[in-house]
Structure 1
Amino acid sequence: MEALITSTLTVALAEIGDKTQLLSFLLVARYRKKWPIIIGIIAATLINHFISAWFGQWFAGWLPEQYAGIIIAVSFIAIGLWVLVPDKLDDDEANCGTCGAFLATFVLFFLAEIGDKTQVATVVLGAQYASVVWVTLGTTIGMLLANVPVVLLGERIMRYVPLNVVRVLAAAVFIVIGLVGLWWSW
C-alpha cells in the first residue's frame, strides 16, 4: 500500500506544470471531447509507466544494496530540482494531424512521457519498491489527479492557482524526501 500512496503523491506533484498538463489543455481546446482524452491519458500512462516501473525494478536488482538507497535519494532531489524548471509544449508534440481525440491523446501522451520527470520518477519508484503493479497504478492515479482536472476544468483552474507557487512547493517535497532518504542511507 505504501508503494501505491507514495507513487500517487510523487507523480501528482511532479506533474504540476508539466508539459503533459499543457498538452491536456491543447487537446481539450482542439477536440472538446473530454472522455476520449481522459481514456487516452489512462492508456498511455499505464503502458509507459508499467515499462518504466519494470525497468526501475530490474535496474535496482543490479545495484549493490549499499548504493541503492543513496542513488534513489539523490534521484528524488534531482527530480525536485527538475520540477522547478517550467515545461513548455513543443509545437511538434502537439500536432497529430486528423487523428481522433483518443488516438491523438494516447500517442502524444506516450511520447511526451518519454524521458519526462514523471517517467524518471516512475523508474525511481520502481527501483525503490518491489511491486511494479502498485507503482504503475499509483503513478497512473497521480497522472490522472494532475491531468483530469485540467481536462475537465481547463482555464478556470489557471485563474485561481498560482502555478509557480505550486511548482516550488512540489519541488520542496521532492527535495525533502531525497534528503530524508540520504539521511537514512548513511
Structure 2
Amino acid sequence: MEAFLVSTGIVALGEMGDKTQLLALLLAARFRRPWPIVAGILVATLANHAAAGLVGGWIAAWLGPDLLRWVVGGGFVAMAAWMLIPDKVDDDATPDRLRFGVFGTTVVAFFLAEMGDKTQIATVALAARFSDLWAVVAGTTLGMMLANVPAVFLGDRVARAVPMRLVHGVSALIFAVLGALTLLNVGQLF
C-alpha cells in the first residue's frame, strides 16, 4: 500500500504544471471532447508507466541493493532539482491534423510527451525503490489521472487557480526527502 500511496502522491504533485498537463489543457481546448481525451490519457499512461516500471524493476535487480540505494537516492535528489524547472509545451506537441481521432491523437501525443518526462523518470525510480511493480504503476497512473482529468474538464481555470511555484516547491521537497531517506537507508524499503 505504501508503494501505491507514495507513487500516487508524487506523480499527482509532480504532474502539476508539467508539459503533459499543459498538453491535456491544449487537447481539451482544441477538441472539446473530454471523454476520449481522458481515455487516451489513461491508455497512454498505463502503457508508458508499465514500461517505465519494468525498467525500474530490471535496474533494481541488476544493480543490487547497495548500489541501487545510491542510484535511486541520487535520482530522487536530482528529481527534486528538476521539479523546480517549469515545463512548457513544445510547439510540435499537438499535431496540426487529426489523423487518429481524438482518442488516438491523445494516446500518441501523451505517450510521446511522457517519454523522458519527470513522471516517467519518477516511475522508474519508484519501481526500483519499491518491490511492488503493479502498485507503483497503479499509483503513478492514478496520480497522472488526478492531475490531468481536472485539467481536461476545467481547462485554464485550474491552471490559473493553483500557484505552480508552490506545487513545484512541495514536489521538490518530497523528492528531496525521499532521496535523503533512501541515501541514509532509513526505513525498511529495501
Runs of 4+ aligned structure 1 residues displaced above 6 Å come to: none
Q: How does 1:88-107 map to 2 (within 5 A)?
A: 88-95=88-95, 97-99=97-99, 100-107=101-108
Please state how far the C-alpha of 1:64 moved relative to its aligned partner. 2.7
Structure 2 counterpart of 1:16: 16
Structure 1 counterpart of 2:73: 73
Mapped partners of 2:126, 2:6: distance in 1: 8
Unmatched segments (≥5 aa) in structure 1: none
- Pair 1:43 & 2:43 matched: yes
Mapped partners of 1:60, 1:181: distance in 2: 14
Name the amino acid aligned to 2:139: G
Task: Give the CA RMSD over aligned residues.
Answer: 1.2
Mapped partners of 1:135, 1:91: distance in 2: 31
Structure 2 counterpart of 1:172: 173
Mapped partners of 1:55, 1:166: distance in 2: 28
Please state how far the C-alpha of 1:177 moved relative to its aligned partner. 1.6
TM-score (ref. length: structure 2): 0.93
Name the amino acid aligned to 1:2: E
TM-score (ref. length: structure 1): 0.95
- Between the two proteins, what is the percent identity of the paired residues? 48
Please state how far the C-alpha of 1:96 moved relative to its aligned partner. 5.1
Q: How does 1:56-135 map to 2 (within 5 A)?
A: 56-95=56-95, 97-99=97-99, 100-135=101-136
Structure 2 counterpart of 1:2: 2
In terms of mean alpha carbon deviation, does 36-45 or 69-78 score higher? 69-78
Q: Residues 9-48 of structure 1: CA distance to partner in whole angstroms, max 9, x if unpaired?
A: 1111211111001101100011000010000000000011
SS state of the match for residue 93, structure 2?
Answer: helix
Please state how far the C-alpha of 1:184 moved relative to its aligned partner. 2.1
Mapped partners of 1:42, 1:66: distance in 2: 35
**Aligned partners of 1:96 and 1:104 also within 8 Å:** no
In terms of mean alpha carbon deviation, does 71-80 or 35-44 score higher? 71-80
Q: Provide the aligned length of Structure 1 versus Structure 2.
A: 185
Name the amino acid aligned to 2:115: I
Please state how far the C-alpha of 1:7 moved relative to its aligned partner. 1.0
**Aligned partners of 1:37 and 1:105 also within 8 Å:** yes
**Aligned partners of 2:25 and 2:152 also within 8 Å:** yes
In terms of mean alpha carbon deviation, does 93-102 or 5-14 score higher? 93-102
Mapped partners of 2:71, 2:15: distance in 1: 22
